[in-house]
Structure 1
Amino acid sequence: MNPFTYRRATTAPEAAAAAALPGHRLLGGGTNLVDLMRKGVEHPETLIDVTGFSQQIELTPGGGLLIGGAVRNSALAAHPQVRRDYPLLSRAVLTGASAQIRNMATVAGNVMQRTRCTYFADPAASRCNKRVPGSGCDAQGGFTRYHAILGGSSACIATHPSDMCVALAALDATLHLLGPDGPRALPLSEFHRLPGDTPHLETELRPGEIITGVELPPPLPAMRSAYRKVRDRASYAFALVSVGACITVENGHFAEIRLAFGGIAHRPWRATRAEAALRSGPATPEAVEAALKLEFAEARPLDGNAFKLPLARRSAAALLAQLIGETA
């Protein structure tokens, strides 16, 4: 690990100003960044601790919830209003990592975490376009069990590792950002980029911008939500496939549906095609199956992860069947 300096930021504008400086990186819980520093992937000259502000969870005037960027994951999962109104989010957070890591990790850090691709994390022996643009991708033709089946490119087939972000995508969350041009808001579903030819550009964050909070819209009346994660072992493992869903059913039809997947793409995958096909339609297994086939029509499984395609469809169908049953 290279030598670095450390200091604290006490306000969001101070942190944003520091984020614009060369060689400076923001430090929340450090559960991803410090790990990458140890592996030689990240080489910051200065770490700016941003855990001294934005730690509140509060109601918005419209009845939603504003979650500060420095809120710890464990505090988010345990918050009474999150558990009551957004159980999908609480469940997703609790399936991620260990209790010790959740006690350290922050909400903004979780959104910003980088891929857990083994080739990305191995600078000594592996080529990675995300780590060194233009160097190549050793995941292509390599071990691909944990890699993408949707949205990948010849330059990168890594997946986004967050459980929390899948839930936030399904909940229509909005990120609050602060930068040199002032504050702005951006839907979480538009924040993470697909790799294309520039996999090293991972988000729509502008130079000098930071995440100050995450806003959840008010829960819909009679909305049911759930999160399901399929992994190689029962705990402390990243998702092979995960699914988050929110639905409202009226008179046997989907009045509203939001569906998102994890473990299958470079970003949390919002299933907009399936949603459009199901919204206002019958809440039946046949309709769900047809919509999921449409959503995955452009999937490009690899030899090592072809199992993800049927696994994702079956996981989503089972989760939606569970929620439909709860609304009956």
Structure 2
Amino acid sequence: MARKARLSTHQRHVHLLHESLENRYLMTADLSNGDFSEGLTDWIVQATETAQVEVVNVGDPGVLLTPTDTGTAEIIQQVSVTPGTAYRLSFTLNSSSDSYAYAGVRGHAGKWSELSTGENTAGRYSLEFETSSDVSEVTIFAQAYRQQTAPVSIDDIQLTLANSPPVSPEPEPPQETPVEPPQESPIEPPLSPPAPIASDSLLTNGDFESALSGWSNISSAGGKAETILGDAGSALRLTPSADGTAALLQQVAVDPSTSYRLSFSLTSAGGSYGYAGVRDHAGKWSEISVGDNVSGRQTLDFVTDANVSEVTVFLQAYRQQTAP
């Protein structure tokens, strides 16, 4: 009997970088009826079991999601996007109970990619993501998971472009006497930021040159995380099994109310999906991740809440994957 090949997902040079919130501007993208002023027009209801979705109007219309012990309340909308473009998804959460609600995006970086943010506390939430070069449509969703029963309201869902304008040159120092302006045109700033270097990263041993030092190995039931030596140096190899997930995590100190970018190189063999992400950036149960089964550079942008000073960065390859 032929032996089943185990999937291996390699991740190299994982960086967590600070990204300034200054010099950002927003432009509207193609999301319809995000304020629910037209009821559920353009939204698809995907409530399961006895979960309910309805639009209520208490001063301002919003979608009321009522999950049950066995049913999730969810709405989705397909949205056209531009490949290779950064977007920001934001929404208002109105919760007077302990129920958690989330909004997010699917399909922005591959078939199974998904990002979401949310909480059980009223407020304005946002997440940033970048579409892959071959992605022209994503799915925006809002949901309240099953195994909770109190209703929660979401309103004012917006999908906007999140681009950085050109960096303005630093002003000249004051002169004692007036001087003639320079004849040459000022040097234009680069169109794209320089590639990150390892010393910029807030992570410990993100290049895995020191094996798994700085990381906690939480692989389960036959899943395996190990470092290997390749042509470009050391890399992490995650090998899941039929019953076990291969995973690492690291606690990282961060600044509150600050934008960060998590990036990593993914090399996938045999169609395996590998993911990296962050937990607790926007509350106790918050989690966002990005990944794919196609080799390439992956990035994930997120913003820490005002009371967050530590997050968990994780790398994983899920169980129940089989090599071709």
Point out the structure with the larger helix share: 1
Where is the strand percentage greater, Structure 1 or Structure 2?
Answer: 2
Q: Determine if the TM-score, normalized by the shorter chain, exceeds 0.5.
A: no
- In terms of Rg, which structure is larger? 2
When normalised by structure 1's length, the TM-score is: 0.26
TM-score (ref. length: structure 2): 0.27
Compare relative contact order (CA 8 Å, sep 6+) and give the higher one, 1 or 2.
2
